[in-house]
């Protein structure tokens, strides 16, 4: 039992580490994938310039994009920086068309929203980072410096934004124009007519825009695939750690049952002397290995899920200022558990095969 407990401890630790990391990564990736599906509903996205430029779409470019052949619908966004605290990075203010009555359908809201009072300030939807860092809860008022003047907005909801860690605020396009008089835009979302492929009109659109070569065109599928590829590259180290944890678990299983087989040589010899066949002894070892490993897997699974729950619900929001949905990778967990169980059985049998075949008389006489 003491040797079995030592082996179980190694399996519990390694399997818990595997489950915790796999669950955290799966939760983040699935939440990101679902979020991308909500924030990228159009077929084609156009940015006036790169992320480090100040290029914008003027009224002429807006008219071209809205009325270009093959474009069935166009929505525009104006992104500007705003400082809410001198000791913190700027937040991003996004002016875009939003119907307050349909905000829950148009935005990836977290929790319930609240309608803005008719005689109060216009509505705004803050990201989780703004709500956490600046205390902008639903129903509160937030002041945004737009065009050098502070304007009050009613916090109508909190939305999930994985693209801007330091926070963002969405305001209605009409409210932004009325307060600032700014008619320029920085991004466009284009819904194309049936049968029109994004690549078919990109070249013509680029030539028709005053922004010209500075404009960046990206299909929704390309943006989604690129975002997930960046995510996978970012968590490559985590995947490597998972592989190392698997190896640690397998090595621990092998060492444990090899040590047990050597320590119980005389026991197996006595069983053979009493009439058990070599195959029966090996089946006994296989059952013991399966039982010990199954108990260890159950303990590691419980510990790993508990650690993953803490990582997803506590550590992640404190580190990145956003939340994600908890998702356990059932298929991966079942595969890892089956792999460890099979390795435990195979290792136990392999370790006992040599011992169970030793000379019976010599092994039994060691007890006399």
Residue among 348, 202, 196, 195 at smallest CA distance from 284: 348
pLDDT of 286 reads: 82
Place of tokens 């002894």: 281
Q: Which residues pair with 217 in a beta bridge?
A: 46
pLDDT of residue 269 exceeding 80: no
Q: Which tokens in the block code for residue 284?
A: 């006994």
- 0.85 exceeded by the pTM? no
Phi and psi torsions of 52, nearest 5°: -105, 10
Got the DSSP string for 305-328?
A: HHHHHHIIIIIHHHHHS-------
By the 8 A CB rule, do 297 and 305 touch?
A: no
Range in 72-86, 254-268, 309-323, 326-340 the model is least confident about: 254-268
Please tell me the distance from the alpha carbon of residue 331 to that of residue 27, in angstroms, as a whole number.
14
Going along the chain, which residue ranges are E strands? 44-47, 71-82, 91-96, 123-127, 141-146, 149-159, 168-172, 187-192, 216-219
**Given the DSSP bridges, would you call strands 44-47 and 71-82 parallel, antiparallel or unpaired?**
unpaired
Q: Which of 2-11, 30-39, 271-280 has the lowest mean pLDDT?
A: 2-11
Residue 313 · residue 326 · CB < 8 Å: yes
pLDDT of 52 higher than 60: no
Write out pLDDT tens, residues 80-107. Answer: 999 999 889 999 999 999 999 899 888 9
Q: Which of the two residues, 276 and 213, has the higher pLDDT score?
A: 276
Tell me the pLDDT tens digit for each residue of 334-368: 988 888 888 878 877 777 776 665 555 565 565 55
**Is the model's pLDDT at 121 over the cut of 70?**
yes
Residue with tokens 């508990």: 306
Q: What are the distances in angstroms from CA 338 to CA 17, 52, 344, 368?
A: 16, 49, 10, 42
- Angle (CA) 52-53-59 rounded to 5° is 145
């Amino acid at each position: 039992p003491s040797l079995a407990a030592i082996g179980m401890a190694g399996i519990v630790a390694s399997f818990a580490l595997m489950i915790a990391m796999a669950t955290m990564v799966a939760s983040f990736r699935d939440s990101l994938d679902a979020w991308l599906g909500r924030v990228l509903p159009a077929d084609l996205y156009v940015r006036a310039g790169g992320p480090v430029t100040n290029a914008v779409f003027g009224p002429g470019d807006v008219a071209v994009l809205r009325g270009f052949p093959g474009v069935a619908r166009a929505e525009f966004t104006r992104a500007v920086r705003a400082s809410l605290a001198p000791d913190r990075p700027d937040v991003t203010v996004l002016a875009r068309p939003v119907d307050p009555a349909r905000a829950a359908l148009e935005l990836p809201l977290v929790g319930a929203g609240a309608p803005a009072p008719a005689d109060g300030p216009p509505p705004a939807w803050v990201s989780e980072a703004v709500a956490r860092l600046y205390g902008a809860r639903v129903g509160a008022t937030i002041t945004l410096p737009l065009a050098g003047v502070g304007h009050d907005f009613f916090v109508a909801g909190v939305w999930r934004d994985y693209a801007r860690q330091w926070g963002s605020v969405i305001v209605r396009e009409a409210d932004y124009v009325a307060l600032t008089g700014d008619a320029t835009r920085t991004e466009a979302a284009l819904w194309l007519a049936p049968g029109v492929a994004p690549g078919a009109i990109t070249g013509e659109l680029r030539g028709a825009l005053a922004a010209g070569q500075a404009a960046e065109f990206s299909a929704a599928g390309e943006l989604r695939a690129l975002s997930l590829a960046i995510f996978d590259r970012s968590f490559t180290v985590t995947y490597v750690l998972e592989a190392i944890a698997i190896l640690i678990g397998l090595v621990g299983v092998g060492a444990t049952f090899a040590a047990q087989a050597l320590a119980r040589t005389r026991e197996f010899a006595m069983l053979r002397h009493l009439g058990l066949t070599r195959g029966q002894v090996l089946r006994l070892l296989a059952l013991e290995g399966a039982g010990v490993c199954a108990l260890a897997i159950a303990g590691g699974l419980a510990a790993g899920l508990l650690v993953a729950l803490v990582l997803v619900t506590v550590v992640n929001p404190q580190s990145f200022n956003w939340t994600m949905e908890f998702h356990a990778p059932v298929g991966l967990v079942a595969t890892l558990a089956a792999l460890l169980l099979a390795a435990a059985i195979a290792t136990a049998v392999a370790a006992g095969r040599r011992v169970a075949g030793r000379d019976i008389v010599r092994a039994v006489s060691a007890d006399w």
